[in-house]
Structure 1
Amino acid sequence: MKIIANRMQVNMGQEAEYKRRHDEIWPELSQLLKEHGIHEYRIFLDEETCALFAIFMVENPDRLIDLPSNPIMQKWWAYMKDIMPSNSDFSPVSTELKEVFYLP
């Protein structure tokens, strides 16, 4: 199992909408993520800066390679692009974070 962490951003003033959309996450998206081996996906919000910190566990990171091309994933990104910085393919602008400390 590998832990992956990312930093993203939600547009200022869109924090409640971001949470609402995730509270109502599509069942087919949840299923897709689970089918790709993703577990314990969490997203945290820094309310002062609107920075998002996402962390999840994945059984095999190689299984994530085709996730961006999946139509469900592309539809979700298109749905979210109006409330967060996005790339030209509508994926969220994201920076993978390096683990620097672990307390077992």
Structure 2
Amino acid sequence: MAFAVAFCVNLDSITRLSIVGIAQRDPQTLKPSAEASISSMVQELDWDSISASAFVLKIREGRVDEYRRRHREVWPELIDLFEAQGVLLYEIFLDEAGRRAFGYRIDLKSASVAVQETSVEVRWRDYMADVLEMEGEEVHSVPIERVFHLRHQSLSNDRAKS
């Protein structure tokens, strides 16, 4: 079984919009369930087979509420596609005041190679075009550079890498 561990930020100006996540958690407390400690979850991961990416999207003025609403109603076929593509965790955080969405996803490397865009992804992008700032027919997305990386101490003596 694959596990993903994520840091969750709860600030008034940031709303967490989870799309896809696979983790062994108690849904009432969001803490690891009794049978799974964080250490055991981390040890079961094959970190060399996982990749992460992040991005920032700009939301059109006056469209933040619609952006939030649409992500509460993500299409089941889009979620199925992400899971089939090897997405282990995909989260989007909303900065309402700045009209920005920060997203990151954790994928299986074997599945994260460039995959030809599917009809479901094209339909979702078209559906979001009136909510997000666009560059032609593409969503204006700014990739994020990773400047810090931490692996659980049980995996390595290197606690922080850049």
Query: Structure 2 length as normaliser, TM-score?
Result: 0.58
Distance 1:23 1:61, change over 3 A: farther
Kept after mapping to 2: 8 A contact 1:9/1:52? yes
Question: Aligned residues: percent identity?
Answer: 28
Alignment of 1:97 with 2:116, yes or no, is: no
Secondary structure, counterpart of 1:54 in structure 2: strand
Cα drift, residue 65 of structure 1? 1.7
Query: Residue in 2 aligned with 1:37?
Result: 86
CA shift in 2, pair 1:42/1:11, >3 Å = same
CA distance in 2, matches of 1:103, 1:15: 32
- Higher share of residues assigned helix: 1
Change over 3 Å in CA distance of 1:18–1:61 after alignment to 2: farther
Instruction: Give the CA deviation at 1:87.
Output: 2.8
- The 1-side partners of 2:88 and 2:67 are apart by 21
Structure 2 segments unaligned to the other structure (5+ residues): 1-49, 152-162
- Contact kept? 1:8, 1:93, Cα under 8 Å: yes
Q: CA deviation at 1:62?
A: 6.0
Consecutive unaligned residues of structure 1, counting only runs of 5 or more, are none
Superposed counterparts of 1:78-89, under 5 Å: 78-89=126-137
Matches within 5 A, 1:1-104: 1-60=50-109, 63-67=112-116, 69-89=117-137, 91-104=138-151
Aligned-pair distance for 1:99? Answer: 0.7
Q: Per-residue deviation at 1:88?
A: 2.4
- Cα 1:38–1:30 change in 2 (3 A) is same
Q: Distance in 1 between matches of 2:114 and 2:149?
A: 26
- Say if 2:86 and 2:111, in contact at 8 Å, map to a contact too: no
Query: In structure 2, what is the Cα distance between the partners aligned to 1:22 and 1:48?
Result: 18
Q: Which aligned segments of 4 or more residues in structure 1 are displaced greater than 6 angstroms?
A: none
Higher RCO (C-alpha under 8 Å, 6+ residues apart) = 1
Question: What is the root-mean-square deviation in Å for CA atoms of aligned residues?
Answer: 1.7
Structure number, greater radius of gyration: 2
